[in-house]
Amino acid sequence: MARERIAVVGAGISGLAAAWLLSRHYDVTLFERNDYIGGHTNTVDIPGRNGPRGVDTGFMVFNHRNYPHLTALFQHLGITSQPTDMSFSASVGNGRLEYAGSDLNTLFAQRRNLTSPRFLRMLADIVRFNRAGKRLLETGTSTDMTLGGYLLNEGYGPGFRDDYLLPMAAAIWSCPTHKMLDFPLLSFLNFFANHGLLDLSDRPQWHTVTGGSREYVRKMLAALPENVHVARRVVAVQRQEARIRLIIEDGSEAFFDQVVFGCHADETLDMLEAPSEDETRILKAFQYQPNRTILHTDTRLMPKLRKVWSSWNYLARHRLTDAPANEVSVTYWMNRLQTLDEPEEYLVSLNPLEEPLPEKVIQEIIYHHPVFDQGAMDAQRILPTIQGRDRLWFCGAWTGYGFHEDGLRSALQVAAQLGVNPPWTVAPQAENALPVRTLPRVEASEA
């Protein structure tokens, strides 16, 4: 008996994982619009002193506590990792305010902040916010309040908001600071709590993939059949009575029994021909922020003070109170993040405030990251109502908080509903630690 044919559209972590799992029991074909497999897993070679070195430009880090399925996948594939430093710095107003959280010396790198009322109140508000956030979660308080509304109602100072919380959040979600104000409060607090960000200690140890994150992509691809198509954009998905028709950008077509979408929600909606009201309402709720990402060696895009250089460096032209639609950027110091022992400083900048010198640019990429407002969170809750309807399935990091574990977990959930479970198990306490709101748990699924 012939195996059912399944098309997987999109080859980021979600689509790749779905194809990898489902290919054990189905005839799977994977379509990817880009000329490479991996989506935000995009490793670029640089000329290292001992030969080429892989530098990650999208997905960079994970930890065992909050990424249990990704950790299990890496163990299953034999992927090795190394500990990394997840330090954070902020540089606001062209260096007028600079600090890092590594120790007291970097926190007060600008000694004038020892007597700055705004800076000292920021530190006090950090302690207050952490305590209040944990208390809200422990009491099970239910609220539709946004992060911005909460900060205003509780009287948090502009220093805490503009110089600490929003910069850190913008760096985590690759999102403009003013959009972070619309983030649902409880979802924000849950994420911070699960990642140890409401504590000054007991934070998880982060890791990077040895050799670059492309290593896991290579191993998953090696286990897939030959039906992997890159640079083949699916432009339309048509539901027919007994099968589903895919139309490719070059005019060709293919027919399948089921389709799994592993791409962004807006891309999925664009492909669906005659989407239902439910599909439109759910998928349209997710907005995306384009982020111009440049791998380069221009250290002018780092904080002015070398002593505050960190793995993650937030830079802003102005304080949010001066410019609500503020220009902000994040620069990742890859030598520190990936332990690159190289004489050159390799940097990845998102939406740089100034252009790096052309001769120092290695590669430029545009990544799109989901924006999580209340509408998106509401849509996540009702997404299960359209799963499997008309033999169409939906997965992606947008079903959770936009991170690699979210994308993988949603793919595992879809695969489980199609009768395929992963070759690993995850302890219940690890499941509970996940800041992910995706599909409902399916019996016998480890997703």
**Can you tell me the mean pLDDT for 76-104?**
93
Architecture per CATH, 5-42+213-287+373-433: 3-Layer(bba) Sandwich (3.50)
**Can you tell me the mean pLDDT for 238-258?**
96
**Can you tell me the mean pLDDT for 208-227?**
94
Residue 173 confidence (pLDDT): 84
CA distance 445 to 447: 5
Place of tokens 């946004």: 146
Per-residue model confidence as pLDDT tens digits over 291-349? 999 999 999 999 999 999 999 999 988 655 544 444 789 999 999 999 999 999 999 99
**Can you tell me the mean pLDDT for 140-150?**
88
Q: Is 233 exposed, middle or buried (0-12, 13-18, 19+ CB in 10 A)?
A: middle
- Name the band, by pLDDT with cuts 50, 70 and 90, for residue 197: confident
**Can you tell me the mean pLDDT for 164-177?**
85
- Neighbouring C-beta atoms of residue 175, cutoff 10 Å: 22
**Can you tell me the mean pLDDT for 355-367?**
97
> Quick one: which of 357, 360, 372 has its CA closest to 402?
372
Residue 393 confidence (pLDDT): 99
- Give me 336's structure tokens: 């520190």
Residue 431 confidence (pLDDT): 58
Strands (E), 185-264: 206-209, 228-229, 234-239, 244-248, 253-256, 258-261
Output phi, psi for 244, to 5 deg. Answer: -120, 130
Strand partners, 347: 296, 333
Predicted TM-score (pTM) of this structure: 0.90
Ranges of each domain in the chain: 5-42+213-287+373-433, 87-202+299-355
H or E element in which residue 369 lies: strand 361-371
Residue 225 confidence (pLDDT): 76
Residue 319 confidence (pLDDT): 58
**Can you tell me the mean pLDDT for 60-75?**
96
- Name the band, by pLDDT with cuts 50, 70 and 90, for residue 235: very high
Residue 430 confidence (pLDDT): 60
Residue 366 confidence (pLDDT): 96
| pLDDT beyond 50 at 436 | no
Radius of gyration of the chain (CA): 22
**Can you tell me the mean pLDDT for 168-192?**
86
Residue 161 confidence (pLDDT): 92
* Stronger pLDDT, 378 or 191, i.e. the higher one: 378
- Give me 243's structure tokens: 């099968």
Q: Residues 6 or more apart from 373 whose CB is under 8 A from it?
A: 146, 179, 182, 183, 184, 287
Per-residue model confidence as pLDDT tens digits over 110-132? 999 999 999 999 999 999 999 99
* Stronger pLDDT, 79 or 353, i.e. the higher one: 79
**Can you tell me the mean pLDDT for 259-263?**
98
- Neighbouring C-beta atoms of residue 282, cutoff 10 Å: 25
| pLDDT beyond 90 at 226 | no
**Mean pLDDT for the chain?**
91
Per-residue model confidence as pLDDT tens digits over 19-44? 999 999 999 999 999 999 999 999 99
Residue 244 confidence (pLDDT): 98
Per-residue model confidence as pLDDT tens digits over 388-401? 999 999 999 999 99
**Can you tell me the mean pLDDT for 436-440?**
31
